[in-house]
Structure 1
Amino acid sequence: MNPLVDIRRLDQSLWLDFISRKVLQNGELKRRIDEDALRGVTSNPAIFEKAIGGSADYDDTIKAQAEQGKSADDIYMGLAVADVQAACDLFKELYDSHDNSSDGYVSLEVSPRLAHDTAGTTAEARQLWQAVSRPNVMIKVPATLEGLPAIRTLISEGVNINVTLIFGLDRYKAVTEAFIAGLEDRVKAGKSLARIDSVASFFLSRIDVLIDPQLDKIVAAGGDKAKLAEPLIGEVAIASAKVAYQLYKEIFAGARWQALADKGANTQRLLWASTGNKNPKYDDLKYVEGLIGPKTVDTVPVETMDIFKERGKPADTLEQGLDQAQAVLRDLPKVGIDLDAQTAQLEKEGVQKFIEPFGKLIDSVEKKRAAAVDGAKQTA
């Protein structure tokens, strides 16, 4: 019995939050697809920074491209596109299957430096879509206010979008509106809705990392608020996800959605992101086992996937304890915590946490590029 395979019975898809040239070339990614029912891959600047900057696997390619006069940014783009193309090709059989369930995708992110630039995000997303040139690539666009109109435009153009950095319920609703409006724009233009897919990536563990210490302080202070706050510790992220799923069921129903579904539209599935546990007090599978349900995706780090394979217990948990989840969100303001303000902070921090590794990534490529150019001059 393999829990990674068993979870498919519950109509949830596991995607791997990792990519590197090494796992593409040594057969590890293919093995996970064949043996562990892996159904997609996501990447981000931190993942590429670790893969490219933290290994020598790309050095020969960087050297060759440096000698061709390419910039660090162009070299990075070429490396990332090549890896994503190779991963897309490994998932092509799944993507082409009649029961792919909107899986078989590999995600590549627009530069985080463009998170507050609608036009820049739209232009780079188009560039990446064309550069990868695979039907099963998803371009990651942040759910910032500036990202929303880009999402609508790109969906209307038939670009598959992974909407990233969603932390709050109001922003999630705005993301679904951008997606649906984009499909409607496409219909008005007389274009097909077939094989257009999108996921809404709701980030989880970072919510608890931010809010738990605040709840701990309230509990330590004692009093009535302490009694109300204690049961909320470690529950806000899971509660947010469970309520988001109820919104998903409401939004992708009714006459407006049915008109699009009749033309072949697929729903924008919720994807649980930031699922690696960051608190040693919690179980490593907290953000996996607690959110298993139909028409959802869970993107997990390598370590979490391996732990789930070893001892995971697949069960339909996503709609269990819904009353409790709603109570958690109702009680937060009663203890003085404004969840909207917290999620706004998380979005700001989230953008920065991608900008920093992206900067390190470009710096590391630049150092290797410069070294290659200097070496070429010395041997000339």
Structure 2
Amino acid sequence: MAHPNPLCALRDFGQSIWYDYIRKDFVESGALQALIAEDRLGGLTSNPSIFDKAITGSDLYDAAIAQAVRAHPAITPTALFYELAVADVQGAAEAFLPVYQATDGADGYVSLEVSPTLAHDTQGTIDEAVALWQRVDRPNLMIKVPATVAGIPAIEQLIAQGINVNVTLLFSVARYQAVLEAYLRGLEARSRQGLPIARIASVASFFVSRVDSAVDEALDASTDSAAAQALRGKIAIANAKCAYAHFLATYHSARHAALNQAGARPQRLLWASTGTKNPAYSDVLYVETLIGEHTVNTVPPATYAAFKDHGQPAATLGEGLDAAAQALAQLTAVGIALEPITTRLEEEGVQAFADAFAHLLAGLQAKRERLAA
């Protein structure tokens, strides 16, 4: 029998739904616990943009800011931000602890990102990730690390150290392959040291809707109009399905089987950027088309509400994997190369988070000065 709540039904297909949002009142009011109870919510993701809107766009944090400044008059805006963010993340992690325990550590995670200023600094990323991991001190924390060239060795090292990692800002299948390889190498390195790998969790956050926005723009400019128009709104899903095909091939390999024997978990693909940006497309397009085993979908509040209202859960992710590869080949045939687009999207994603972080720190400084006055 189909579950009356479409969000709850996703579990039947092996997918966990996470919430791409955090704010002090959401965590403290019981609203988060209500979603966990009603919708089988399995986790929560945050990023610098979400924190920027929460902290600079409300007065919810003013009392905590004033208290922190009184206790540490010389506190920097960056240290002040982490004081606020760590408190929110700890509260959310505690709300998800029953999920984490009930699933034996398979789900119930909350993500906190390293500073976006470290996106091209491997050692700086490792150092900050370790510091945040120790400071938050919750087993169901994931540290977000961008999938930049500098991020790949950091991911491997952090997994080897037993730190849960949410790899973010993934746009291309090739970079995803490097991320999955880093995860496996990290587990193997840890295993060789005789250290346990059974409780380490990781997700690879593969961005979806932004790919369609960028590719559709290129398709609209294409001279091969009929063939190009037929691909509108299809490439992001095809790209994601090709990543999933690689996941399946790796998961069913002898190499993964050896790690499974030692208790390793698969690094789940997490669909990110799943709010529909084009109003001509269904508001649940990037949820309904990507439902399958060993995956997570982290959705913004509007998409979450839309899917709960009228989503149609079905095992869609494993369908049409060959057709997905053909769609990417057709894109090349109409003269559009996907790799430069995904490279640009990664650069823009890193910059957008860096800009949000800078705006957040400037806002915190302004609040601090106002509150001090």
Give TM-score, length-normalised by structure 2. Answer: 0.97
Say what the alpha-carbon RMSD is for the aligned residues.
1.0
* Aligned residue number for residue 144 of structure 1: 148
- Alpha-carbon distance in structure 1 between the residues aligned to 2:177 and 2:40: 30
Residue 323 of structure 1, CA deviation: 2.9
* Aligned residue number for residue 233 of structure 2: 234
- Alpha-carbon distance in structure 2 between the residues aligned to 1:100 and 1:343: 36
* Aligned residue number for residue 261 of structure 1: 260
Contact between 2:105 and 2:140, CA under 8 Å: does it hold in 1?
Answer: no
Question: 2:166 is matched with which residue: 162, 165, 170?
Answer: 162
Query: Aligned AA for 1:89?
Result: E
Does structure 1 residue 329 correspond to structure 2 residue 334? no
1:108 is paired with a residue of what secondary structure? strand
* Aligned residue number for residue 360 of structure 2: 361
* Aligned residue number for residue 280 of structure 1: 279
Give CA deviations for 1:18-45 in whole Å, capped at 9, x if unaligned: 0100111211100000001100000000
- Alpha-carbon distance in structure 2 between the residues aligned to 1:308 and 1:101: 26
- Alpha-carbon distance in structure 2 between the residues aligned to 1:271 and 1:347: 16
Query: Aligned AA for 1:42?
Result: T
Contact between 2:231 and 2:327, CA under 8 Å: does it hold in 1?
Answer: yes
* Aligned residue number for residue 294 of structure 1: 293
* Aligned residue number for residue 99 of structure 2: 94
Residue 228 of structure 1, CA deviation: 2.2
2:360 is paired with a residue of what secondary structure? helix
- Alpha-carbon distance in structure 1 between the residues aligned to 2:277 and 2:214: 11
Query: Aligned AA for 2:340?
Result: A
Query: Aligned AA for 1:293?
Result: G
- Alpha-carbon distance in structure 2 between the residues aligned to 1:164 and 1:367: 30
Residue 155 of structure 1, CA deviation: 0.2
2:145 is paired with a residue of what secondary structure? strand
* Aligned residue number for residue 208 of structure 2: 204
2:142 is paired with a residue of what secondary structure? strand
- Alpha-carbon distance in structure 2 between the residues aligned to 1:182 and 1:322: 28
* Aligned residue number for residue 30 of structure 1: 33
Question: 1:71 is matched with which residue: 73, 76, 82?
Answer: 76
Contact between 1:66 and 1:370, CA under 8 Å: does it hold in 2?
Answer: no
Query: Aligned AA for 1:345?
Result: R
Aligned length: 368
Contact between 1:202 and 1:271, CA under 8 Å: does it hold in 2?
Answer: yes
Structure 1 runs of 4+ off > 3 angstroms?
none
Residue 100 of structure 1, CA deviation: 4.8
Contact between 1:66 and 1:372, CA under 8 Å: does it hold in 2?
Answer: no
- Alpha-carbon distance in structure 2 between the residues aligned to 1:267 and 1:7: 18
Give TM-score, length-normalised by structure 1. Answer: 0.95
- Alpha-carbon distance in structure 2 between the residues aligned to 1:8 and 1:252: 20
Contact between 1:243 and 1:322, CA under 8 Å: does it hold in 2?
Answer: yes
- Alpha-carbon distance in structure 2 between the residues aligned to 1:194 and 1:246: 24
Contact between 2:28 and 2:91, CA under 8 Å: does it hold in 1?
Answer: no
Give CA deviations for 1:54-105 in whole Å, capped at 9, x if unaligned: 11110011011112211111110010001000000000011011x3571100
Does structure 1 residue 11 correspond to structure 2 residue 6? no
* Aligned residue number for residue 48 of structure 2: 45
2:277 is paired with a residue of what secondary structure? coil
* Aligned residue number for residue 59 of structure 1: 62
Give CA deviations for 1:299-341 in whole Å, capped at 9, x if unaligned: 0001100111111111011122223211110111111111111
1:232 is paired with a residue of what secondary structure? coil
2:339 is paired with a residue of what secondary structure? helix
**Aligned residues with identical type, % of pairs:** 50
Question: 1:184 is matched with which residue: 179, 185, 188?
Answer: 188
Does structure 1 residue 175 correspond to structure 2 residue 174? no
* Aligned residue number for residue 304 of structure 1: 303
Give CA deviations for 1:156-214 in whole Å, capped at 9, x if unaligned: 00000000000000000000010000001101111000110000000000001111011
Unmatched segments (≥5 aa) in structure 1: 376-380
Unmatched segments (≥5 aa) in structure 2: none
Query: Aligned AA for 1:10?
Result: F
2:196 is paired with a residue of what secondary structure? coil
- Alpha-carbon distance in structure 2 between the residues aligned to 1:365 and 1:299: 27
